[in-house]
Amino acid sequence: MAGTTGDAGTRRDFLYVASGAMGAVGVAAVAWPLIDQMNPSAAALALGTSEIDIASIQPGQQVVFKHRGLPLFVRRRTPAEIASANAVDVNSLPDPLARNAALPDNTLATDASRAVKPEWLVLIGVCTHLGCTPAVSTPQQPQGEYGGWLCNCHGSAYDTSGRIRKGPAPSNLPVPAYTFMSDTRIKVG
Amino acid sequence: MSGPSTYNPKSGIEKWIDSRLPLPRLMHDTISTFPTPRNLNIWYIFGGILTFCLAVQIVTGIVLAMHYVASTNLAFNSVEAIMRDVNYGWLIRYVHANGASMFFLAVYIHMFRGLYYGSYKAPRELIWIIGVLIYLLMTATAFFGYVLPWGQMSFWGATVITNMFSAVPVVGQAIATWLWGDFAVGEATLNRFFSLHYLLPFIIAGVVGLHIWALHVPGNNNPLGIDVKSPQDTLPFHPYYTVKDAFYLVCFVTLFAGFVFYAPNFLGHPDNYQPANPLVTPPEIVPEWYLLPFYAMLRAVPDKLLGVIVMVGAIITLVFIPWLDTSRVRSCRFRPLMKQFFWAFAIVCVILGYCGAQSVEATAFGIPLVWVARIATLYYFAYFWLIMPIAGLIETPKKLPASIAQSVLGDSAAKPAE
């Protein structure tokens, strides 16, 4: 056959491999838009910030707001709750990291690195196990053993700093980036 | 579908069609004359019943899709409109919702039948594996369907199931986001679930075709688990099994109608009549009854990734059964040891289902159910990965009958079948 180059293969082999490779590139190029269309659309990505009025929240009370489609916990903690959050040895926690969007990833989960002002705890209220909204614990209606939250779906218990203490959830409830605009207003996101 | 055809076209038009598209030949060989073991018992009726269930779900589903609106603001109310306003909408929706439960009831009996009589053993491995694939497609379809009414259980069920993908190391969260089309379950999620819920039943129908095709190569297994040796061991599928299947189908439909007309919400959860609220998780969330055993396994493991692995592993394990069973004998009828382990396994599955339905911290007789579920999960896996291979090696099976005909008709079977 014309173009034979010995054991190194023929031009026909080259054409065969080259067309196969181009075919694979073509399939991938067609497949990618069909896969990527399922990712969040531009509208979903265009997430705003939320301004929240926290004036009406009483000590010991939690109010749930909606932020970027997710529940946002704003809890005004009592001195006892703050004290119990501070009384924990960070290194003994199942998840020792702060999970605070405003702080570096390796920050330790001290209560100070989870709350801008000790009285106010702001958290994304999504259980880090499978996404349920954990139920808040109050002295009247305790939820779990740690005074914070209990996820009724699969039994994950969080403390008064929103840190995971028991159950299948792998990490602490995340803290979003937020700032105090005044004593009674916060801006989240 | 396979083997020599017995179709004999008589009229000119039949011959004309047969030489161009041998569809009548296919139907004739598959349904009419297909030689079927003469000793099939009541547990062999569910293949036909399952085909019926699939047809019911597709027909009622197509009709429901004419009235349903896949939008987070409208979905719940459109389902209510189906129940109140659409002519016979209540009937069609209750048939569809209970039809899913009936479908799973039948498929579970069908699967346990296969387990008991060793229907997965050579040469029927592919029938079994295709069956596992059908089961997986059914669970996916049922899950998508359960999300559509956009009630509280719909929303939180969707949240929990899709969050399982976030357990995958490194890329988990990206996969979950990709599934949602957002950063939480929402509008995009509902729309794509509706699209997939409409698509998958037709895929199931195609795979059912493969299941039946694969079945028609070696033919049916039977309660004795021995091969068909002569024509006296079999009967033509029609009229013998068409009539039998039709009779039991009527019985099955009676049960089905009992649910639809007298207890249409018995198998559902009342919380799904509350519109979805992304800010409040119901105090107890449970899946539909047919997924409870797997849900119990998920909750039995106190680690996110391991829990998901165990749950998925429980289904994937089924694929390997044909090679985990080392016994030379198919049917448990002749396996005194395996028969006991089988019934223990069936009871364990029911116990797992019970555990999955209770709250996280529930107890029974003072024992935390989570520990009951842990032991039951252990048995589930041990049954396939330890008991099945070992029992097949150490057990002495009972003596097998010489043939199906001899077993059914006695020693007079030597004479030609009537």
Distance CA A21, CA A26 (A): 9
Looking at per-residue confidence, does B227 or A140 come out higher? B227
Tokens (6 digits) for B76: 């719940």
**A169 touches B at CB < 8 Å:** yes
Mean pLDDT value across residues B180-204:
95
Nearest to B160 among A47, A153, A169 (CB): A153
Check whether B418 has a pLDDT greater than 50: no
Chain segment B320-353, per-residue pLDDT in tens: 999 999 999 999 999 999 999 999 999 999 999 9
Check whether A1 has a pLDDT greater than 80: no
Mean pLDDT value across residues B163-181:
91
Residues shown for chain A: 189
The CATH architecture of the domain made up of B286-394 is Orthogonal Bundle (1.10)
Q: Is A154 a catalytic residue?
A: yes
> What φ, ψ does residue A55 adopt, rounded to 5°?
-60, -35
Distance CA B277, CA B14 (A): 60
**A131 touches B at CB < 8 Å:** yes
**pLDDT score of B416:** 53
Mean pLDDT value across residues A75-93:
90
CATH classification code of B39-222+235-285: 1.20.810.10
**Contact indicator for B207, B133 with CB cutoff of 8 Å:** yes
Contacts of A154 in chain B (CB under 8 A): 298-299, 360
**pLDDT score of B3:** 63
Mean pLDDT value across residues A182-186:
90
Would you call B302 and A167 a contact, using CB atoms and an 8 Å cutoff?
yes
Check whether B173 has a pLDDT greater than 60: yes
- Search chain A and give the residue with CA nearest B175: A39
Check whether B2 has a pLDDT greater than 70: no
Looking at per-residue confidence, does A45 or B191 come out higher? B191
Nearest to A44 among B179, B182, B307 (CB): B182
User: What is the average pLDDT score of chain A?
Assistant: 88
- Active-site choice (A11, A12, A117, A154): A154
Shortest Cα distance from A10 to chain B (angstroms)?
A: 41
**pLDDT score of B360:** 76
- Long-range contacts of the stretch B298-303 (C-beta < 8 A, 24+): B298/A154, B298/B164, B299/A154, B299/A155, B299/A168, B299/B355, B299/B356, B299/B360, B299/B370, B299/B373, B300/B355, B300/B370, B300/B373, B300/B374, B300/B376, B300/B377, B301/A168, B301/B374, B301/B377, B302/A167, B302/A168, B303/A168, B303/A170
Would you call A64 and B279 a contact, using CB atoms and an 8 Å cutoff?
yes
- Search chain A and give the residue with CA nearest B167: A129
pLDDT band at B117 (very low <50, low <70, confident <90, very high): very high
- Give the residue among A146, A173, A3 at the shortest CA–CA distance from A71: A173
**Contact indicator for A153, A140 with CB cutoff of 8 Å:** no
Would you call A168 and B182 a contact, using CB atoms and an 8 Å cutoff?
no
Q: Where is mean pLDDT largest: A41-45, A153-157, B13-17? A: B13-17
**pLDDT score of B339:** 96
Distance CA B103, CA B49 (A): 8
Q: Which residue ranges make up each domain of chain B? A: 39-222+235-285, 286-394
Mean pLDDT value across residues B260-275:
94
Check whether B411 has a pLDDT greater than 80: no
E-only strand ranges, B324-401: 363-364, 367-368
Chain segment B45-84, per-residue pLDDT in tens: 999 999 999 999 999 999 999 999 999 999 999 999 999 9
Tokens (6 digits) for B2: 């396979």
Interface test with B, best of A129, A137, A165, A171 (most B CBs within 10 A): A129
CB atoms within 10 A of CB B28: 19
Q: Which segment of B93-97, B101-105, B260-264, B300-304 scores lowest on mean pLDDT? A: B300-304
- For residue B88, what are the contacts with CB-CB under 8 A and spacing of at least 6? none
pLDDT band at B412 (very low <50, low <70, confident <90, very high): low
Mean pLDDT value across residues B144-170:
93
ipTM summary value: 0.78
Contacts of A64 in chain B (CB under 8 A): 279-280
Write down the pTM of the prediction. 0.89
**B283 touches A at CB < 8 Å:** yes
Contacts of A39 in chain B (CB under 8 A): 177-178, 181
Percent of chain B with pLDDT over 90: 81
pLDDT band at B92 (very low <50, low <70, confident <90, very high): very high
Would you call A135 and B281 a contact, using CB atoms and an 8 Å cutoff?
yes
Chain segment A63-76, per-residue pLDDT in tens: 999 888 889 999 99
**pLDDT score of B324:** 97
pLDDT band at B415 (very low <50, low <70, confident <90, very high): low
**pLDDT score of B417:** 47
Would you call A152 and B283 a contact, using CB atoms and an 8 Å cutoff?
yes
Percent of chain B with pLDDT over 70: 98
User: What is the average pLDDT score of chain B?
Assistant: 93
**A66 touches B at CB < 8 Å:** yes
